[in-house]
Structure 1
């Protein structure tokens, strides 16, 4: 890291109000780079100088194999240092977008910074934007896209939160993707500012035909657009084909669910259709066959299907069976009430009170949760 430290120390003496002082450094680095009789070892350089782990350096080097020297890399690192991006931050940028190191500082990166500064962004904000923007930071569409999305989200901070969920916002084609999706959401009464930090943000960069089809399908299901469930349904349906959704609903019918049962469950919890077909079938079979729940009961409480079979449903059901065998449970105990308890409350109500009367109970339950076969509890 000694070489990288020198680069960052030398860059710290560069005035920060404007970027031109970086460019003499770029030329100096290029001019003074010692010639090496051996081929430039990109992987080693990324690991020893850029601070990447060896696996990340190996992966990144595949996209930088054409580099013959460190001059471009050093210039880009100096550029990042001038924006007060730490060495670890620079390493994260390189790991996520190795070709960032191939960008021309004067003709590309500096121009992007000038454009963003013209939009009112501070250098500290630009430094925070770069890791999230990825490859789109190096494109000419960066400025226009940012100029469009900033007022849509209402602030730089909201836009930044949205980019943490969906890094493709600044890369999406505004005319073909961004604007049509935004207009459709607005027609549905949805404000982008309301979900800047949720997965619904991903809908903005989905192909518009998928979003349009999702809206039509949700309307057919009878989910009101002013209902919170409409947004969850949009997230569930905009990223799956109609055929896949129909197939999952068909699986429920094959498991004995009536169409009314299916519609009741989906309207209450559209996200259940984001489950894999195998997981859905396994969970429903467990609830009906092993637990003995009636299908209408499950349909009115579809969150039961969403809980992890391995980490919650099976461990808690197995523990309840132990307590039931000892006659320690009320006959009218509601399974839904038990399953929806937090882990802390479940332990408080159904494990800790019985540890003395049933030695090994806590360890047995922990084994269930760890998906291990437990020893028999003492009888």
Structure 2
């Protein structure tokens, strides 16, 4: 009985075999059309604003970096996972703006395992999201633990990793530890390099021949291993070619510095050679021509070359010239003393006391520091 009923139902569901092709065509056409109807459309931009918390401007920029999914199922799942793990909405928005690929990460294969292992080493949900926007590799946990032990603070690691993502993926045994050993032989610690500049952390992950070449270039400039200035010189000059360094040394010679004065500059502030030739030339010409400083004076105080010409050196010199012309500057100050003052102290000594006798002085000086006068 049941078998007979099943057979009867199936026969009713089948197309009648006796129908002519003309009658079947419209039906096949209808089924074909229905199958090709696309799923309900959605707006990635609206999702980024409404669900992820991005601003409209951020969403427009981020949408350009999103490979459009066929549905929002995976982004919605990723977002729900992050929220459930206690990641603040602001941190989610910042992470998505930094790397929208986090929304396409599989919860089961990527997000859940990463959160589990990184929570074990003490990272907060917000810190984990920050790290995941930089790198998602198998070596992540091991490298993070190593750098936390080596450098001490998570924030420092995050800053370095944003400049050098290889920090969290390069082999500890084959690359990072050998490079650190080489640096220690030169009297350079990991902290020296970490605090030496935005890109200096690449010294931790470069090929050995690149690191040895950088060390050799610094030594050729007369900076000795083990000296206090060697770490700063290595951080500043390691990725400049020999031709570029030679060109900047030749420029300093043309500007009037003797060989002894060049050596003095390199030993006191090798970072000068990391500046552009245009910056070096404009600063030195201003100091010699407008301030009337001599090469030996500048060589003993090479930090003068590194200060901002537009925002510090020129505005302060111009203000002192005005005060001197008005007879308001009672004592002549050493220029380097003037240049190294904090902005707050400079204003307190040379702007505030003359506000009443020289109306507009403060506004004029502020405008000059902004490059408007």
TM range (shorter): 0.7 to 0.9
C-alpha deviation, 1:196, in angstroms: 5.1
User: Given that residues 196 and 231 in structure 2 are in contact (C-alpha distance below 8 angstroms), is that contact kept between their aligned partners in structure 1?
Assistant: no
C-alpha deviation, 1:126, in angstroms: 5.4
C-alpha deviation, 1:194, in angstroms: 6.0
C-alpha deviation, 1:43, in angstroms: 1.9
The structure with the larger Rg is 2
Task: Quote the Cα distance in structure 2 between the aligned partners of 1:288 and 1:53.
Answer: 50
Aligned to 2:19: none
User: Given that residues 196 and 232 in structure 2 are in contact (C-alpha distance below 8 angstroms), is that contact kept between their aligned partners in structure 1?
Assistant: no
Aligned to 1:105: 107
* Counterpart check, 1:230 vs 2:230: yes
TM-score by length of 1: 0.78
Aligned to 1:87: 89
* Counterpart check, 1:64 vs 2:66: yes
* Counterpart check, 1:240 vs 2:230: no
Task: Quote the Cα distance in structure 1 between the aligned partners of 2:255 and 2:195.
Answer: 37
Aligned to 1:218: 218
TM-score by length of 2: 0.80
Shifted more, 199-208 versus 60-69: the winner is 199-208
Aligned to 2:10: none
Give ranges in structure 2 of 5+ residues lacking alignment. Answer: 1-36
C-alpha deviation, 1:248, in angstroms: 1.8
Give ranges in structure 1 of 5+ residues lacking alignment. Answer: 1-34, 374-379
> Per the alignment, do residues 141 and 181 of structure 1 end up closer, same or farther by CA in structure 2, a change over 3 Å counting?
same
Q: Secondary structure at the match of 2:231?
A: helix
Aligned to 2:288: 288
User: Given that residues 96 and 134 in structure 1 are in contact (C-alpha distance below 8 angstroms), is that contact kept between their aligned partners in structure 2?
Assistant: yes
* RMSD of aligned residue pairs (Cα, Å): 2.6
C-alpha deviation, 1:228, in angstroms: 3.0
The Cα offsets for residues 211-241 of structure 1, whole Å up to 9 and x where unpaired, read as 3222222223333433332221111012322
* Counterpart check, 1:130 vs 2:129: yes
C-alpha deviation, 1:264, in angstroms: 1.0
Equivalent runs, 1:1-379 vs 2, <5 Å: 37-116=39-118, 120-122=120-122, 124-125=123-124, 127-136=126-135, 138-153=136-151, 155=152, 158-167=153-162, 168=165, 169-174=167-172, 177-193=175-191, 199=197, 200-329=200-329, 333-373=333-373
Task: Quote the Cα distance in structure 2 between the aligned partners of 1:254 and 1:114.
Answer: 60
Task: Quote the Cα distance in structure 2 between the aligned partners of 1:62 and 1:360.
Answer: 48
Task: Quote the Cα distance in structure 1 between the aligned partners of 2:142 and 2:109.
Answer: 18
> Per the alignment, do residues 345 and 115 of structure 1 end up closer, same or farther by CA in structure 2, a change over 3 Å counting?
closer
User: Given that residues 264 and 300 in structure 1 are in contact (C-alpha distance below 8 angstroms), is that contact kept between their aligned partners in structure 2?
Assistant: yes
Task: Quote the Cα distance in structure 2 between the aligned partners of 1:175 and 1:73.
Answer: 36
Task: Quote the Cα distance in structure 2 between the aligned partners of 1:257 and 1:232.
Answer: 22
Number of aligned residue pairs: 332
User: Given that residues 307 and 313 in structure 1 are in contact (C-alpha distance below 8 angstroms), is that contact kept between their aligned partners in structure 2?
Assistant: yes
Task: Quote the Cα distance in structure 1 between the aligned partners of 2:170 and 2:84.
Answer: 29
> Per the alignment, do residues 110 and 313 of structure 1 end up closer, same or farther by CA in structure 2, a change over 3 Å counting?
same
Task: Quote the Cα distance in structure 1 between the aligned partners of 2:90 and 2:365.
Answer: 42
> Per the alignment, do residues 339 and 151 of structure 1 end up closer, same or farther by CA in structure 2, a change over 3 Å counting?
closer
> Per the alignment, do residues 183 and 132 of structure 1 end up closer, same or farther by CA in structure 2, a change over 3 Å counting?
same
Task: Quote the Cα distance in structure 1 between the aligned partners of 2:293 and 2:195.
Answer: 37
The Cα offsets for residues 51-90 of structure 1, whole Å up to 9 and x where unpaired, read as 1122322232233333011110111112212321111111
C-alpha deviation, 1:262, in angstroms: 1.9
C-alpha deviation, 1:249, in angstroms: 1.9
Shifted more, 108-117 versus 272-281: the winner is 108-117
